Chains A and B, each alone.
Chain A
Amino acid sequence: MVSRNLLIIALMSKSYLSSRPAISYSKVAATYSSRAQKNLSEYQDWAFQTQGSVNSLSPSPDFTKFAIAGRELLEILALNANPVRPPIRIKNFSSGNAQEKNTSCNDVKWGNDFSENYLFTCSPLGDLNVWDIDLGQNISKFTEHSRAIHSIDVSKFHSSYVLTASQDGLTKLWDFRESHSTQTFKGNSEAARDVVFSPSESNEFVVAYDNGTVQKWDLRYSKSPSLKLSAHNGVALCIDYTPNGSLLASCGRDKSIRIWDINNNQRKAISTINTIAPVNLVRWEPAEVNNATCRLASSSLLGDNSINVWDIRRPYVPHRSLNHHENNVTALQWISPNVLLSSSRDGVLSQSRVNDAKSYIDIMPSSAVSWSTNGSITFSSNNLKNPNLRPPVNRTSSRESNISSLKTALQAKQPIQETHLKQTPANFEFSYPVKNHQLAITSIFPNTSHQFVQLAKSYQLSGETNTACQRNARLAYQLGAYEAQAMWDFLFFSSLNLNHKERFLAKDDYDFPFSDESRSVSTQNKSERSRRSSFESEGLSDDYFESLLSSSSLSSSILSVDYEDNLDKAVSKSINQRSDHPTSMRSRKDGNPPFQGGRGSITSLHFFDSIGSNVSAHSQYDMSNSLHQGSVTSASIKSRDPAFSLGSLSRRTSYFHDQLSLVAEDAPPTDLVDVVTSSIIQCIDESDVQTGASVYLLFSALPINIPRPQLDDLIDSYVGLLRRMGMFCEAAYIVKHSSQVVKYKYSANRDLSFGHKSNPKPYRQNVSFDGVNIYSKLERCCFCELPLNGVITSCYGCGHLGHESCLREWFFNDSTEECLICPVPGCGQVCF
């Protein structure tokens, strides 16, 4: 009785509501026509205002006609032979019959084969209606679904089979000649949103559900699906097979379109397209003969009114985008490849040629630069129309902007270099043209990682400081780390005491192989020269990038010599500065050559490239130098022309002698502690962890005036780098010679435990290496009794767990005897 009441109420309300608001479409049509003049003609083959809102459209099997269905609307329109003209209305089902006036269609499908003469529609009230096209009336009505039917599909193999997907979660199979549904498939979800028959397998179909699953069913087995995919987060809204049935596309409220290899039972999507709005429709483009299709059209549920055509090989940018609809798109149908029929909620029906539409990929910028951690730059650029056009090079003092200006410089240089590519092949490790583009990879610090490894392996970090510095300086020089070399050399000289220095000057126990000639000249003369050249180096370094750019027309060897020249002077200058103001070294960056980090390696890159031409290049250098000075050094270098690199070495030596003489004559004797301190500070400032840590370790006996945590951080990060590069022996050596804190952090043999509950015993699994372990939240700190989270460590001896901060406080901040004992009451083990 109750249910009957309800039914009556429902019917009553239906009739109440049927006094529908007489909202006319004239205004909509008017706005539409004005719009049509604006931009529709640009993309549109035709557009057509229907009498209501179109929810769905379906073409006839021969693609000459199509049916549209919507609220109080069911019409058949003809697709003309001449595609430019809008369709002609052939038949209007909803007019006339007053009783049927309240029909609203969620979906329409045209039958095929012997059901070609029938239309199938479904309503929001759960009715499946069959319409005879010739008679123009409803021939049967099935009302088994209690809730709205969202989708119907007609089988291509058994043309009397119809499937309906309904809000009640059921999918029903009907033979429209019978009075009842023949099968019911229950998908364990609230609502079935879409159903499609497989175009290749006669018994298979796929249903999309509200809970985000997409399930493949077999018509002959209604108990459980043959495949269940967790396709979407949230509602899955639409599915579509490719015309050959090999792939399935699904879309949903989570703004994604996923492509599934449905026949191979793979549970993971083979491709995912992420869009900007919830996707309500997805349709594969029909393939050209024998071609696999790879385009699909999609539209969004709300927010975005455009139709996007995606190429699944490029899932990030739509291949084409149609923007002519001014309301949400409700139906999509491909008529043929490239021709798409669509309708929107305001009742506009349109046909468009997709390939005429806007393509985002053509208007996106395609120049890009990327920077890899091992020091190489890759960039791609369009072919520049004007090769003389160069972006301005910013010259600022900070390192970051220097690097960026170098990138700009390289970029600007690159189109020009195309012509010179054969002459300077080593500037670009790879360079290949990609269809109107140039893609190049260049390495500006080719040896940094090699250098780092070698230096880490061979630095001497203990023993007598003089010899160690000397040795390290030589190592650094051999590996091309000139900055580090300068640092070590300077430390070496600083570490000698004054009379030792004089003795050294006299006795020649600093035995660089080619230093004899240079030392034969008076030191006064050289210091003179050094000052002059340092003055000169400012101009040179400022002009370096100009020269880099402009010299692309010159031979690269000249460039390299120019630069080498510049470098040496810069080094000498910096050393001068250092000896004068050891504490203000961190300001050394200002006004000095740009691009400090890669100075040495860039030099070597250019430098050794040009060995073939080094004679001429070197003479060039000599000319430029002797113009100013005419020094004996130049002459001596000239005499050693064939051994070019050795010559440069001798030059370098001479600079240090200059510097030394400066120290000896001008500057007051500097305190070694200050020198070491400022060296380390400078290394920290320049984030040269390796040199800084090495210097610190070598001079660790001195009372260095840097806050303890900063030093620990320095060592810590050096050890971290070493471990990352797999040099565990070196790392262990550093740890062994470092402070308590670092030692404690790294040398403990930590235990690792997961998920053990309430085990009173300490864990002794000895698994982990690193300082940070993640333990289960269930454990509690042995010290403060709070749950363990964050950085956790364990006692050395007994393995009790605790927060690192707690244990650190216990072991380090307490100076009594007690602090060596495990904090756990009753444990009593000496843990530290």
Chain B
Amino acid sequence: MKPKRIILMGLRRSGKSSIQKVVFYKMPPNETLFLESTARLTQEHISSFIDFSVWDFPGQVDVFDAAFDFESIFIQVGALIFVIDAQDDYLDALARLHVTVARVVAINPNICIEVFIHKVDGLSDEFKIDTQRDIQQRTQDELADIGLENVPISFHLTSIFDHSIFEAFSRVIQKLIPQLPTLENLLNIFCANSLVEKAYVFDVLSKIYIATDSSPVDVQSYEICSDFIDVILDIGSIYGGARQKHSERHPDALDETSSIIRLSNDLVLVLREMNQYLALVCIIRADNFKKSGLIEYNVQCLQSAIQSLFSSK
């Protein structure tokens, strides 16, 4: 299976490289201030649960310059992320977006176009929604004028200073996973039968959630789960034994990492490693965590189901 390709585009200084560094390289957000502006196209191959590569297009490069073989680039692209700086005057960015969308859709009609209205941490709540409405409206009108009413474009308000960028990325990546409905149904069944409040399957490396059950994602539970993973990784790297390399392991060997934390507000966090990239994190009320053996059994069922789901590729 070819790696899915995600392309980051946007005007210069809109925050593309910062997004990439924060999401995939765990760079602290305030250090992105010192990132040099990207001079040339950089490709980063992320070997994680699904292999995808992130291409960071420098903002000043015109992709549709004759020098680029854009057709061969975009034909393999799964998702195009267009980053707009919400704190700047975004009209130029929108003009660029419209041109890009028109060209890209002509090449690859199945591409997911995601617009990140970025750097919204500096805006008030009221202004955020107004900005989003304005951008959405302008884009819709503009695309309707060139006859592309039904191009699916998703808009996300993002900021690298909170978890919104991870959530937006999660949603983008979920669209690229063909097994998502099955995975989600598995989680739904798991949640219903184990009386779990909320279950996430995380990509441990990037803290992006690959799937969750169909109840609405609330920001707090996502935040606590992703922080939980950080804690486990840190503790694991200090006290955990040396792990076998992926190639040396028996393909059917199950991973053993698991952790249970009981919070003071009567919630229990359960983490269970699913395979070398994925971890299940779920939130259970303490009242429902009486029979942990049964939940453990259900988790194992889920784990084997997920293993077979992804090994079949």
Contact = CB atoms under 8 A, between A and B. Distances in A.
Is B a genuine binding partner of A?
yes
Interface string A22-59: 11000110000000000000000000000000000000
A296 interface: no
A188 B287 CA distance: 39
Given A125-B185, A301-B216, A302-B218, A12 B192 contact: no
Contact of B133 (A16, A267, A755): A267
Nearest to B186: A13
B233 interface: no
Contact of A233 (B132, B190, B213): B132
B95 interface: no
B276 interface: no
A230 B190 CA distance: 33
A6 B155 contact: no
A572 interface: no
A755 B89 contact: yes
A693 B17 CA distance: 53
Nearest to B136: A230
A784 interface: no
Interface string B269-313: 000000000000000000110110011011001101100110011
Contacts of A212: 132
Nearest to A148: B214
A20 B182 CA distance: 20
B4 interface: no
B21 interface: no
Interface centre among B181, B186, B213, B309 (most CB of A within 10 A): B181
Contacts of B295: 21
Nearest to A346: B287
B188 interface: yes
Interface residues of A, number: 55
B188 A230 contact: no
Contacts of A253: 216, 218-219
Interface in B180-197: 181-182, 184-186, 188-190, 192-195
B7 interface: no
Query: Taking chain B's interface residues, is the majority helix, strand, or loop, or is none over half, making it mixed?
Result: helix
Interface in A183-197: 188-191, 193
Interface residues of B, number: 57
Nearest to A126: B185
A530 B131 CA distance: 68
A461 B201 CA distance: 77
Nearest to A229: B133
A212 B313 CA distance: 34
Contacts of A14: 189
A434 interface: no
Contacts of B216: 193, 210, 235, 237, 253, 278, 280, 301
A394 interface: no
B150 A223 contact: yes
A254 to B, nearest CB: 7
A343 B231 CA distance: 37
Interface in B133-183: 133, 136-137, 140, 149-150, 152-157, 171, 174-175, 179, 181-182
Contacts of B290: 23
B156 to A, nearest CB: 8
Given A150-B214, A211-B155, A302-B218, A230 B189 contact: no
B129 A230 contact: yes
A146 B181 contact: yes
A18 interface: yes
Contacts of B132: 212, 230, 233
Contacts of B157: 233
Contact of A147 (B184, B192, B219, B302): B184
B133 A124 contact: no
B31 interface: no
A232 B193 CA distance: 32
B260 interface: no
Interface string A551-568: 000000000000000000
A825 to B, nearest CB: 27
A148 B182 CA distance: 10
A202 to B, nearest CB: 26
A126 B188 CA distance: 11
A169 B151 CA distance: 15
A816 interface: no
Contacts of A211: 154-156
Interface in B237-278: none
B36 interface: no
Contacts of A150: 214
A16 B301 contact: yes
Contacts of B308: 5, 9
B192 A124 contact: yes
B96 interface: no
Contacts of B291: 21-23
B149 A302 contact: no
Query: Taking chain A's interface residues, is the majority helix, strand, or loop, or is none over half, making it mixed?
Result: loop
Contacts of B219: 234, 253
Contacts of A830: none
A12 B305 contact: yes
A20 B288 CA distance: 12
B99 interface: no
A18 B153 contact: no
Given A6-B312, A9-B305, A230-B132, A148 B184 contact: yes
A129 B221 CA distance: 31
A13 B214 contact: no
A755 B11 CA distance: 14
Contacts of A767: none
A627 to B, nearest CB: 65
A278 B222 CA distance: 14
B72 interface: no
Interface in B64-117: 89
Contact of A124 (B174, B188, B287, B298): B188
Nearest to A31: B287
A21 B290 CA distance: 9
B181 A168 contact: yes
B195 A23 contact: yes
A230 B290 CA distance: 43
A755 B217 CA distance: 40
Contact of B214 (A6, A147, A302): A147
Interface string A293-333: 00000000111000000000000000000000000000000
Contact of A10 (B150, B213, B217, B305): B305
B30 interface: no
B154 A232 contact: no
A302 B294 contact: no
A743 interface: no
A71 B194 CA distance: 11
A71 B153 contact: no
A10 B182 contact: yes
Interface in A141-175: 146-148, 150, 167-168
Given A6-B312, A148-B188, A223-B150, A124 B305 contact: no
Contacts of A223: 149-150
A2 interface: yes
Nearest to A27: B287
Nearest to A280: B216
B92 to A, nearest CB: 9
Contacts of B309: 6, 9
Nearest to A16: B301
B217 A235 contact: yes
A167 B213 CA distance: 10
Interface string A60-82: 00000000000100000000000
Contact of B181 (A18, A147, A301): A147
7 contacts: A19-B297, A20-B193, A20-B194, A188-B154, A190-B174, A211-B156, A223-B149
Given A5-B308, A188-B150, 18 more contacts: A13-B186, A13-B189, A13-B302, A13-B304, A20-B193, A21-B195, A23-B195, A125-B189, A147-B181, A147-B185, A188-B153, A190-B171, A193-B216, A233-B128, A233-B157, A235-B216, A237-B216, A301-B218
